[in-house]
Amino acid sequence: MTISVGDKLPDVKLVKATQDGPEQVASSDFFAGRKVALFSVPGAFTPTCSAKHLPGYVEKADELRAKGVDEIACTSVNDAFVMGAWKDAAGSEEVTMLADGNGDFAQAVGLTMDGSGFGMGQRAQRYSMIVEDGVVKELNVEQPGDFSVSSAEHMLKQL
């Protein structure tokens, strides 16, 4: 079942990519007590994700914060080392990278996709959400192959 607006995020272990290496974090702790702009990509270093999705959130970080966002986070079904390398390569210090290496978070929120035809296995769909104190306030799920409603620009209009 797909998560909906008004639902509390499930408590799942994620791995935060930090300068000191991977750091395990429970989603319930990460999202508690603040407003988070979360976006999900099918894969780090993939074309749309690297050319548009991540750069849009980096570019609009100040505007998102000005509208009350405490943290901007990106999740993907990649390991923390890949997510950290992507963050470094993109110069995206404004975005916290949350690795969902086994896809547990994607499965728990019901937003998986089958990328097996492209050699990618099970991945997370492309989406964004505004989460306040662990509760989904806005949810924007892209149609396969699209990139519009999960963008930073779209999220700014929702705030």
Q: Which residues are annotated as catalytic?
A: 49
Place of tokens 């209009």: 157
Helix, strand, coil % (nearest 5) of the chain?
30, 30, 40
Q: What are phi and psi of 22, to 5 degrees?
A: -65, 140
Q: Report the C-alpha gap between 28 and 44 in whole angstroms.
A: 24
Residues near 140 by Cβ (< 8 Å), separated by ≥ 6?
127, 128, 129, 149, 150, 154, 155, 158
Of 145, 144, 142, the C-alpha closest to 128 is 142
Q: Report the C-alpha gap between 20 and 6 in whole angstroms.
A: 35
Question: Is residue 21 a contact partner of residue 97, using CB atoms and an 8 Å limit?
Answer: no
